[in-house]
Amino acid sequence: MLRRIDEALINRANQSLLNELEADYAALGDKLARQNIDIEAITRSAADFQIAVPSWGTGTGGTRFARFPGTGEPRNIFEKLEDCAVINELSGCTDSVSPHFPWDKVDDFSELKQTADEYGIKWVSVNSNTFQDQPGQEHSYKYGSLSNTSKEARELAIQHNLDCIGYGQQLGAKSLTVWVGDGSNHPGQQHFQRAFERYLASMEQIYKGLPDDWEMHIEHKMFEPAFYSTIIQDWGSNILAAMQLGPKCKSLVDLGHHAPNTNIEMIVSRLIQFKKLGGFHFNDSKYGDDDLDSGSLHPYQQFLIFNELVDAEYRKEQDFNPAYMLDQSHNVTDPAESLINSAIEVQRSFVKALLVNREALYGYQEDNDALMASLELKNAFNLDVSPILAMARYRKGAAINPLAVYRSSGYRSKMAELRPRDPNATGSGIV
């Protein structure tokens, strides 16, 4: 297998930390054993946990005011893939990449797939982009794409989504994620119902083009770029569209796309109940769609979401297979470092949710014992599961301390030499 980080470097770093890790792991194992939890079973689940990296997250993001590019940024999808390989080699929990088109379009997809295969990276959900015009585009998306009043603009957007499915098929992906910027900025600008009808009619055309074993995931977002109304504003519009379109269409939850204080874990539960949970874009936010690093502000919320997910698994909910992806914008950090750290933070929430005693919790719920029920969750959340995560990484040949190895590898400064920045290149700055 092709590697970007020298295995010997990881092994040396791991050897120097192993004694300490083994001691911490043994102590945690004893503690969990007293609660009748087998640490080995939890570590196996942790090792199996995987979350996809968004190709667009490997570059520095930005705001509508400015973008401050970092050094050695990837300039094309092959270079983004290299960074994704680094992230996976060190974290051991990001073995797939979600591409975005046309940003990641190449002439030869078989070459791209082969390179990813060599790194042991899979391609998952393909993302379409009808929120910006491409150079020379005949019909603008300024007033929307799939819901545009112009038939020609709608047809262009439909065709782009169908093209994305074609690219994804060549890469081995099995789902299409559709997020549109369509909406309005002024009350009265748009007829809500007619716009939604146009959107649904366009989505039906895309749905018809889905291969049998594919799913389509709709992403809702409350605002931006439209600031008064958006076509798929919230999970309500999202699930209505997904229900109308059919069983292969599901809703995707991007954590940053809700109003502050929204009870996202309850939305997750509803979507699970009605078999409409397609997947996640994990990130964190304080004010709106800030796309901050996952778990950096609201780790308890992230844990409560995983509590619902692990509960669904425990109850053997049928057809339950949500796709986990990160979707963040890194404005002031090295994107690779943020993505490594964020993937592990999401994995941490998953592992903590595994520690909840489900039967005990159901008992407290039946008895209306609110305090004990909330403590059952809080106790799991409060436990430091770092030794489990580190041991899972160590056993798969990833790094016990991924960020330390990343920094000592000098990867970014090497990339700064190999990837000189094109002074005329314009970064998207949109995530």
* Sequence-distant contacts of 198-201: CB under 8 A, at least 24 apart: 198/146, 198/147, 198/148, 198/149, 198/154, 199/146, 199/147, 199/231, 199/232, 199/241, 200/241, 200/244, 200/245
Cα-trace Rg, the chain: 22
SS3 327: coil
Rounded least distance, CB 281 to ligand RM4, Å = 5
What angle separates helix 7-33 from helix 386-395, to the nearest 10 degrees?
140
Question: Which has the closest alpha carbon to 17: 394, 420, 415?
Answer: 394
Binder to ligand RM4 among 95, 104, 182, 254 (CB under 6 A)? 254
Residues 13-72 that bind ligand RM4 (CB under 6 A): 56
Specify the DSSP class assigned to residue 401. Answer: S
Distance CA 216, CA 44 (A): 30
SS3 348: helix
Rounded least distance, CB 309 to ligand RM4, Å = 19
The reply on whether position 220 binds Mn ion by CB under 5 A is no
Binder to ligand RM4 among 80, 281, 348, 412 (CB under 6 A)? 281
Contact region with Mn ion (CB under 5 A), list: 90-98, 324-332, 339-347, 396-404: 324-332
The reply on whether position 182 binds ligand RM4 by CB under 6 A is no
The reply on whether position 327 binds Mn ion by CB under 5 A is yes
Q: How many residues line the site for ligand RM4 (CB under 6 A)?
A: 12
Q: Which CB atom, from 81 or from 232, has the smaller least distance to Mn ion? A: 232
Residues 121-140 that bind ligand RM4 (CB under 6 A): 127
Q: Which CB atom, from 104 or from 254, has the smaller least distance to ligand RM4? A: 254
Which of ligand RM4, Mn ion, none does residue 430 bind (CB under 5 to 8 Å by kind)? ligand RM4
Angle at 125 between CA 211 and CA 314, to 5 degrees: 100
Contact status, residue 255 vs residue 222, Cβ threshold 8 Å: no
Rounded least distance, CB 186 to ligand RM4, Å = 21
Binder to ligand RM4 among 82, 95, 215, 219 (CB under 6 A)? 219
Binder to ligand RM4 among 167, 179, 207, 235 (CB under 6 A)? 179
Q: Cα–Cα distances in Å, from 415 out to 65, 73, 79, 146, 290? A: 27, 7, 9, 39, 27
Residues 275-314 that bind Mn ion (CB under 5 A): 281, 289
Rounded least distance, CB 251 to ligand RM4, Å = 13
Rounded least distance, CB 183 to Mn ion, Å = 14
The residue written with tokens 């015009």 in the block is 133
Which of ligand RM4, Mn ion, none does residue 127 bind (CB under 5 to 8 Å by kind)? ligand RM4
Name the helix (H) or strand (E) containing 98: strand 96-98
Distance CA 146, CA 170 (A): 24
Q: Which CB atom, from 103 or from 314, has the smaller least distance to ligand RM4? A: 103
Q: Is the four-CA dihedral 141, 143, 146, 152 of positive or negative sign?
A: negative
Which of Mn ion, ligand RM4, none does residue 337 bind (CB under 5 to 8 Å by kind)? none
The reply on whether position 327 binds ligand RM4 by CB under 6 A is yes
The reply on whether position 326 binds ligand RM4 by CB under 6 A is no
Specify the DSSP class assigned to residue 150. Answer: -
Query: 290-316 b/e with 16+ CB inside 10 Å = b?
Result: bbbbbbbebbebbbbbbbbbbbbeeee
Q: Which CB atom, from 10 or from 232, has the smaller least distance to Mn ion? A: 232
Distance CA 373, CA 365 (A): 6
Rounded least distance, CB 56 to ligand RM4, Å = 6
Residues that bind ligand RM4 (CB under 6 A): 56, 100, 127, 179, 219, 221, 254, 281, 289, 327, 430-431
Residues that bind Mn ion (CB under 5 A): 254, 281, 289, 327
